[in-house]
Amino acid sequence: MPAAGRGERLGPGAPKALRELGGVPLLVHAVRALTRSRAVGLVVVAAPADGVAEVVALLDGHGLEGKDIRVVAGGATRQESVRLGLAAIPAEVGIVLVHDAARPLVPVEVVDAVASAVRAGAEAVVPAVPLADTVKRVEPVRGGPEPVLDTPDRATLRAVQTPQGFRREALAEVHAKALAEESAGDAGALPPVTDDAGLVERFGGRVVVVPGHEEAFKVTRPLDLVLAEAVLARRRAADAY
Ligand code: C5P
């Protein structure tokens, strides 16, 4: 679980993973969401490098006792945080899910569906939902107006969520290749990779999509926190969540 981001788009304050939702840090919600799945035996959290002790203390205090949870120092980018997390997973683990700490409310059904699809033989699996908005590609101009290049057919587009699931060797291999590319200074001309499945695609691997869920949204901007609070309140009213 990469959880080392600053969360600057949320506004000033603590690192995003430590912001609270219903009185509980986002990170704790996200870890609980994974441990609810019987497919998950171990959670490795990549914490802010200067916040490892704080994250360990936090996870000790929120009813996660008895779960196998390890905390490592994350990196300067999401990709680096994932790579450092992967390195801390025991060799015998064959299937890995990568889940953003910033998606605290992912339903257990999504976690199970992703894990099952990898178990059934897929190399890389992403949960995704159709788009409500029409999407345009533009020539970015700071402050705009921005010329439109084209409009992809919305029916072929999906908004991708996490957890993303992988055969462990496949994920480790593309992260190692990306690191080698960066060290050689070769990555500059390529668009940035913003998810792990994107790395698999870059190196020619096959990625499949399974249905995601609207409640697996990423908490990025202040309005997302308002929505997350509302979803949580509804769940708490419906059961002893
Ligand atoms: O920035 P973005 O919202 O795409 O971040 C997605 C996830 O990656 C978040 O859970 C964030 O904490 C994590 N991240 C990280 N290390 C970084 C930057 C982001 O673990 N250096």
- Determine the average pLDDT of the residues in 113-132: 98
pLDDT tens, residue by residue, 167-181: 999 999 999 999 998
**Which residues form the domain of 229?**
8-139+149-237
Distance (Å) from CA 117 to ligand 1 centroid = 25
Distance (Å) from CA 100 to ligand 1 centroid = 7
In a mutational test of the pocket of ligand 1, which residue from 100, 103, 162 has the highest number of ligand atoms less than 8 Å from its CB? 100
Average confidence score pLDDT of the chain = 94
Token pair 């025991």 is found at 90
Give the C-alpha separation, 192 to 169, whole Å. 22
pLDDT tens, residue by residue, 204-223: 999 999 999 999 999 999 99
Give the C-alpha separation, 20 to 223, whole Å. 14
In a domain, 144, yes or no: no
pLDDT tens, residue by residue, 127-171: 999 999 999 999 999 998 999 999 999 999 999 999 999 999 999
DSSP codes joined into one string, 114-133: HHHHHHTT-SEEEEEEE-SS
In a domain, 195, yes or no: yes
In a domain, 3, yes or no: no
Q: What pLDDT does 241 receive?
A: 61
Predicted model pTM: 0.95
CATH of the domain at 46: 3.90.550.10
pLDDT-wise least confident of 102-106, 188-192, 231-235: 188-192
Q: Cis ω on the peptide bond leading into residue 163 (within 30° of 0)? A: yes
Give 160's Cβ-side CA count (13 Å radius).
20
- Determine the average pLDDT of the residues in 3-30: 91
pLDDT at 186 over 80: no
Q: What pLDDT does 62 receive?
A: 87
Ligand 1: atom nearest CA of 16 is 12
pLDDT tier at 187 (50, 70, 90 boundaries)?
Answer: low
Instruction: Judge contact between 199 and 193, C-beta under 8 A.
Output: yes
In a domain, 75, yes or no: yes
Q: How many domains does the chain have?
A: 1
Q: Which residues line ligand 1 (CB under 6 A)?
A: 2-5, 16-17, 46, 74-78, 81, 100-102, 218, 220
